């Protein structure tokens, strides 16, 4: 067993052991649900090259088993799956990955509860030529093996709540680079006055440290302490103000940055279906502004937002993202090196009438460095139409357009994707899906563009 597996196995057996000790076997409700997902994909441009010369079939076999145990005051869930990918004429792309997730929760008297989760995952990350999380057709990727243990303890009452979290994780990147890191994180949160008093107070303290195993003196840490007070003037108006201190240390780069920050906000809800949220703040490295307007009434939903923030570049290390059914590699520990000004404008309009749903969303991002000529502009437009044909059938058509301007050495690139998705639920245990898509990427600098058309048929069964 690898060091990664051993580290997480300690947390798994710890959680399982806690469950088995107080469990009343007679009153326990045990559920075992095996399942299998089969997918067949055809691509006319498997390697996403400028000239579609390689077409191929990709088969995915994903057996899994879910074991759940529940008693009056405890819950245990174990989810294990294997993802096998077989490429017909390009065997070098054959892959197999495994995942193991364990979740445990126990509820005691006096509003005290304990929960713990643990996971071991193998997952590929594609760069540029990504397709779906289940099917990887690019040879430009890294294999990531990760494991995390995350116990938490919470205490709550009518006018207060307290929570403590601890995270320990291991991650290893392979193929393009080989690097490993250990992550330790502690978070304490306290909230009070949320029910009776118009004054609400919350405090948070978190510390995260990463040790780079294969780099001498390679470690980084982040410390954040924050206190916020909110005052509810009436049912329509609420004010908030918070102040904190953060510290960033990178031993490998011999850098240390720290300073105080503050954030003030206003929430105005003139009607039950309309809200306006404004905030402004300042970190030791720059200012931030944000505003959002939300309208949700009858069949129409409208959301608009603008954010301007001084952010920072980061030495990125994988960290867990809770509550996600798939591994999420967008959550990172950030250690500030370069300073960026980031402006984001977003909007969404949705209309629903009986079984028909129409949605349009757009976002624009401008990010520029304060110490160099680097910049990036991204515009995303998305149109979607979904129709619930029957209770068991769903048809959706989606069009995505992404346009990117990057640093002066790169030209403009754009992605256009048109997809048609059909989902049919035969019964409670069998689902069928058919996906048709066409994707085109324009050339950018020295990178060629490409076009791809693909068909994916999927059947998922549980027993």
What is the three-state SS of 19-80? HHCCCCCCCCEEEEEEEEEEEEEEECCCCCCCCCCCCEEEEEEEEEEEEEEECCCEEEEEEE
The answer on pLDDT for 203 being more than 70 is yes
Query: Residue 182: is its pLDDT beyond 90?
Result: no
Which of 12-26, 237-251, 281-295, 332-346 shows the lowest mean pLDDT across its residues? 12-26
Confidence of residue 48 (pLDDT cuts 50, 70, 90): confident
**Is pLDDT of 74 > 90?**
no
C-alpha 457/C-alpha 300 separation (Å) is 33
* pLDDT for the residue 289: 95
* Least confident piece of the model among 135-149, 214-228, 442-456: 135-149
How confident is the model at residue 142, as a pLDDT?
66
pLDDT band at 236 (very low <50, low <70, confident <90, very high): very high
Q: Which of 162-171, 276-285, 288-297 has the lowest mean pLDDT?
A: 162-171
CB 104 within 8 A of CB 117: yes
Task: Kindly report the average pLDDT of the chain as a whole number.
Answer: 81
Average pLDDT on 229-246 reads 93
Binned at pLDDT 50, 70 and 90, residue 449 comes out as confident
**Would the pTM count as exceeding 0.95?**
no
Number of Cβ atoms within 10 Å of the Cβ of 17: 10
pLDDT band at residue 205 using 50, 70 and 90 as cut-offs: very high
Q: Please identify which residue in the block is written with the tokens 């299998």.
A: 36
Who wins on pLDDT, 268 or 121?
268
pLDDT band at 405 (very low <50, low <70, confident <90, very high): confident
Report strand pairing: 179-192 vs 160-174.
antiparallel
Candidate ranges 102-116, 175-189, 422-436; pick with highest mean pLDDT: 422-436
* Mean pLDDT of the region 259-285: 94
Question: Which contiguous run of DSSP H or E holds residue 235?
Answer: none
Residue of higher predicted confidence among 195 and 316: 195
The mean pLDDT value for 199-203 works out to 92
pLDDT at residue 379, rounded to an integer? 92
Average pLDDT over residues 86-92: 81
pLDDT-derived band at 332 (thresholds 50, 70, 90) equals very low
333 pLDDT higher than 60: no
Extract the tokens encoding 420: 């048609």
Which residues lie below 8 Å from residue 41, measured CB to CB, with a gap of 6+? 57, 58, 59, 60, 135, 137, 454, 455, 456, 457
Task: Report DSSP state, residue 343.
Answer: E
Whether 84 and 99 have beta carbons less than 8 Å apart is answered as no
pLDDT, tens digit, for every residue of 147-157? 888 899 998 88
Residue 39's pLDDT band (cuts 50, 70, 90): very high
Of 450, 220, 192, 423, the residue nearest 312 (C-alpha) = 220
Question: Pseudo-torsion of CA 280, 305, 267, 160, nearest 10°?
Answer: -80
Tell me which of 1-5, 75-79, 137-141, 403-407 is least confident: 1-5
d(CA 269, CA 276): 6
Write the DSSP symbol of residue 6. H
| pLDDT for the residue numbered 101 | 84
In this predicted model, which residue has the larger pLDDT, 336 or 241?
241
- The answer to whether 173 and 142 are in contact (CB under 8 A) is yes
Q: pLDDT-based confidence at 195, cuts 50/70/90?
A: low
> For residue 304, what are its two tokens?
């608009």
pLDDT at 63: 94
Instruction: Kindly tell me the sign of the dihedral angle through the C-alpha atoms of 13, 19, 24, 29.
Output: negative
- Flag whether pLDDT at 118 surpasses 60: yes
The two three-digit tokens of residue 303, written as one number: 């959301």
């Amino acid at each position: 067993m690898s060091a990664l597996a051993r580290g997480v196995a300690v947390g798994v057996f710890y959680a399982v052991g806690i469950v088995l000790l107080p469990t009343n076997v007679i009153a326990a409700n045990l559920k075992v649900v095996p399942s299998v997902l089969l997918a067949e994909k055809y691509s006319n441009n498997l390697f996403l090259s400028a000239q579609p010369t390689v077409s191929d079939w990709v088969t995915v076999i994903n057996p899994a088993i879910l074991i759940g145990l529940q008693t009056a005051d405890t819950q245990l869930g174990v989810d294990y799956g294997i993802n096998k990918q077989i490429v017909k004429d390009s065997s070098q792309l054959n892959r197999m990955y495994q995942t193991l997730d364990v979740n445990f929760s126990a509820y005691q008297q006096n509003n005290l509860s304990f929960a713990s989760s643990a996971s071991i995952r193998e997952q590929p990350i594609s760069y540029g030529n990504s397709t779906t999380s289940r099917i990887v057709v690019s040879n430009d990727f890294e294999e990531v093996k990760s494991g995390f243990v995350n116990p938490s303890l919470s205490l709550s009452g009518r006018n207060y709540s307290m929570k403590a979290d601890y995270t320990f994780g291991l991650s290893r990147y392979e193929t393009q680079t080989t690097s490993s890191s250990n992550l330790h994180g502690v978070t304490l949160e306290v909230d009070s006055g949320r029910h009776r008093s118009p004054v609400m107070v919350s405090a948070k303290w978190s510390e995260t440290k990463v040790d780079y195993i294969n780099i001498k003196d390679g470690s980084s840490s982040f410390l954040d302490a924050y206190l916020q007070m909110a005052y509810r003037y009436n049912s329509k108006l609420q004010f908030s103000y918070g102040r904190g201190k953060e510290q960033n240390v990178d031993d490998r780069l011999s850098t240390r940055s720290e300073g105080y920050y503050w954030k003030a906000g206003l929430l105005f809800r003139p009607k039950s279906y309309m809200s306006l949220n404004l905030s402004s703040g300042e970190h030791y490295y720059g200012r931030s502004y944000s505003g959002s307007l939300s309208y949700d009434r009858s069949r129409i939903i409208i959301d608009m937002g603008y954010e301007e923030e001084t952010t920072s570049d980061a030495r990125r290390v994988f960290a867990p993202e809770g509550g996600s059914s798939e591994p999420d590699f967008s959550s990172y520990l950030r250690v500030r090196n370069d300073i960026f000004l980031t402006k984001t404008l977003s909007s969404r309009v949705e209309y629903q009438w009986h079984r028909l749903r129409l949605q349009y969303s757009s976002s624009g991002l401008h990010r520029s460095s304060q110490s160099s000529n680097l910049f990036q502009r991204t515009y995303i437009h998305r149109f979607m139409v979904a129709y619930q044909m029957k209770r068991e059938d769903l048809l959706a058509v989606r069009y995505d357009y992404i346009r990117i301007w990057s640093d002066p050495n790169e030209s403009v690139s754009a992605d256009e994707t048109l997809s048609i998705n059909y989902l049919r639920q035969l019964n409670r245990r069998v689902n069928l899906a058919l996906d048709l898509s066409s994707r085109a990427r324009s050339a950018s600098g020295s990178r060629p563009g490409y076009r791809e058309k693909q068909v994916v048929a999927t059947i998922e069964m549980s027993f």
